[in-house]
Structure 1
Amino acid sequence: MQPLPRHWATVRETVAFPNTQEYALTIHGASDLSLEDAQRDAQERMALLIASGGPGQLHDSGLEYYPLRRLPEELLEELRSPGGELIAAISRNRYGSAVLNTDALLISDVDLVEPSPQDRAKPAGGLLSRLFGGGRQAELTPEQQDPDAFGLPGLHRRGEHHERTLHLIEDFRARHPELGVRSYRTRNGFRLLVTGTGAGPSSKRARELMGQLRSDELYMILCRVHDSYRARLTPKPWRIEVDRFEDLGTRTSADETHHAWVARYRAASEDVAVCRLLDVSGPAPSAVEQQIIDLHDRAVRPESGLRLA
């Protein structure tokens, strides 16, 4: 995979475009070479945006405005194969969580599947009734009671969505016996690590597979733009009662405020996990895929039994 940028620069301009509104534009530039090169990249991106006539015109022209809005992320760690090839990197995202970036392993987060309008109109003798015991509320299983998974409000509907999403994943595995699939529970859904695809993040094959899993459209755009799959490795700060990283007003790792936030965040993260391993199926992963899986699992603590955050 391509190295993640080590240097970032920001350019801001307020521009009044003809026949349209005034925009306060912020563009980030990135470089693996130097801060000066990152500044050049930001200026070039800004010039392209202005020349296009603004964000609205750029979108109408068929070009993507979103890729021009690359957000700074601190590079935390790189993972290389035994042959020295860069196969993954960990960065800190805008709100402070560590994120895995890789092009060697398909990663798809799957949100709970909403029922169709037709299913919502069905009487209680359908799936919801089977899950919870006819017309009365049956005793809930520990999995259904788990507030990490469903939350207390709307528990029954969340249980129904949980069941539908499991069926979606089971169908995906049945359609692709040639692929290895590691299924995890996340706080609000599921995560799949899919091995053996040979599909780059920006490829048509990747879009097809993630589409079958109903992956988030914005996530699929991110994969295409940055040519990398992504997976959050550490808790969202607000789930462990830590202030959001971007509220610090600094992204400089040498800053003492930055170090103090990281210390608070790490301490608060000790008693939680990000994923819970549910199932492993299909062919064994390659050696490189296994390296990435091992890195992922060390971080997300999938067999710890801790609450999910």
Structure 2
Amino acid sequence: MQPIPRYWATADEVVTFPGRGEFALTIRGSSDLSQEDAQRDARARLQRLVAAGGPGALRGDLEYYPDRRLPEELLEEVRSPDGELIAAITRNRYGAAVLNTDAVLISDVDLTTGSEMSSRRRGRGGLLTRLFGGGRDGAGAEEDPDAYGLPDPGARGEEHARILQVIADFSVRHPELGMRTYRTRNGFRLLVTGSGAEPGSERARQLMSELGSDRLYVLLCRVHDSYRARLTPKPWRITVDRLESLSARSPRDQEYRRWVERYDAASRDSAVCRLLETAGPAPTAREQQVIELHDRAVGASSGLRLA
């Protein structure tokens, strides 16, 4: 895979588009080579956007979003025994560690009935309460099926079963592919081996579409040129406030370091997903290395509550 950018820069310009008025544009560029190369990338992205007619002109096909790639701190590079870069771990905009790789196709599938419905059924707060007032669930959380990735009665349980059937049907259609199925807090994660599909390829888009992946996740894989999987809990699910300015801070910043320490300590009692089943051919050694890294990081066999 391509290295994760180590350098970031921005290009700013006020541009007048005929019939639309002025736009203050800010575009980020990145590079693994140098700060100067990151600045050149930012300028090139800005020029492409201007030549295309501005953000509104491209929004309909979601093509503007690749120019909005956000900087992420590079935490670790993972190499095969022969030195090939096969994965990298970054910290995303709200502070979670994220696996980036092109060695294994990763697809997340959400329960489309949504966690909001599940929360309302249990009499808890809505989305804004969970995101910003949140922390751990209140009384009765231990009985919450979502907290352990378990199906519950009613529409959400039916959706759980439906998605498992979609996954089973996919495996039948693609016996050449290995499948590892995990339950997340609000859906499923699939690690698919043997596809050889590049993250931005039509083959990857087709396979993820068959599995029911969110369209924006498919786009995100193309934008980052890697499959992505969150490895650590969402902060608001483990009683840690989201540090809104995290993406703009340096790892050397004291407030940043204190936040990371609190987050890491609070993460120890939670998992991100749990392994349900495996199917198909065995992974290659390269794929297995990424799978083992993923499973250790997410607590796939820990039995801990999911966050």
TM-score bucket (shorter structure): 0.7 to 0.9
Post-superposition offset of 1:150: 7.3
Larger Rg: 1
1:226 to 198, 202, 224: 224
Post-superposition offset of 1:179: 1.3
**How far apart in 1 are the matches of 2:100 and 2:247?**
24
Query: Would you say the 8 A contact 1:149–1:189 is kept in 2?
Result: no
2:116 aligns with none
Query: Would you say the 8 A contact 2:69–2:223 is kept in 1?
Result: no
Change (3 A) 1:151 1:20: farther
Query: Would you say the 8 A contact 1:76–1:89 is kept in 2?
Result: yes
* Secondary structure of residue in 1 paired with 2:237: helix
* Secondary structure of residue in 1 paired with 2:245: helix
Post-superposition offset of 1:111: 1.2
Post-superposition offset of 1:21: 4.0
**How far apart in 1 are the matches of 2:46 and 2:78?**
32
**How far apart in 2 are the matches of 1:11 and 1:260?**
31
Post-superposition offset of 1:195: 0.7
- The answer to whether structure 1 residue 278 and structure 2 residue 276 are counterparts is yes
Between 228-237 and 63-72, report the one with greater CA deviation: 63-72
Post-superposition offset of 1:63: 8.6
Query: Would you say the 8 A contact 2:149–2:184 is kept in 1?
Result: no
Q: Structure 1, residues 171-230: CA drift from partner, whole Å, max 9, x if none?
A: 111222221111100000010101111111122221121111010101111222322111
| AA partner of residue 157 (structure 2) | G
1:191 aligns with 189
Post-superposition offset of 1:50: 2.4
1:129 aligns with none
Q: How does 1:79-228 map to 2 (within 5 A)?
A: 79-113=78-112, 146-148=145-147, 156-228=154-226
* Secondary structure of residue in 2 paired with 1:160: helix
Residues matched between the structures, number: 280
**How far apart in 1 are the matches of 2:96 and 2:71?**
13
**How far apart in 2 are the matches of 1:187 and 1:283?**
27
Change (3 A) 1:19 1:260: same
**How far apart in 1 are the matches of 2:34 and 2:164?**
46
* Secondary structure of residue in 2 paired with 1:245: coil
Post-superposition offset of 1:242: 1.4
Query: Would you say the 8 A contact 1:13–1:26 is kept in 2?
Result: yes
**How far apart in 2 are the matches of 1:35 and 1:245?**
26
- The answer to whether structure 1 residue 26 and structure 2 residue 16 are counterparts is no
Change (3 A) 1:78 1:51: same
**How far apart in 2 are the matches of 1:151 and 1:203?**
33
Q: Structure 1, residues 253-297: CA drift from partner, whole Å, max 9, x if none?
A: 111111111111101101000011111111110000000001101
2:288 aligns with 290
**How far apart in 2 are the matches of 1:215 and 1:77?**
27
**How far apart in 1 are the matches of 2:246 and 2:24?**
22
* Secondary structure of residue in 2 paired with 1:183: strand
Q: How does 1:42-61 map to 2 (within 5 A)?
A: 42-59=42-59
Change (3 A) 1:59 1:190: closer
Q: Structure 1, residues 34-73: CA drift from partner, whole Å, max 9, x if none?
A: 122212211222222223321123457x792111111101
Post-superposition offset of 1:10: 2.1
* Secondary structure of residue in 2 paired with 1:246: coil
Q: How does 1:224-303 map to 2 (within 5 A)?
A: 224-248=222-246, 250-303=248-301
Query: Would you say the 8 A contact 1:248–1:257 is kept in 2?
Result: no
* Secondary structure of residue in 2 paired with 1:172: helix
**How far apart in 2 are the matches of 1:166 and 1:249?**
36
Query: Would you say the 8 A contact 1:113–1:162 is kept in 2?
Result: no
Q: Scaled by the length of structure 1, what TM-score is found?
A: 0.84
Q: Structure 1, residues 117-161: CA drift from partner, whole Å, max 9, x if none?
A: xxxxxxxxxxxxxxxxxxxxxxxxxxx951326799x96221111
Question: For structure 2, which runs of at least 5 residues remain unmatched after alignment?
Answer: 114-142
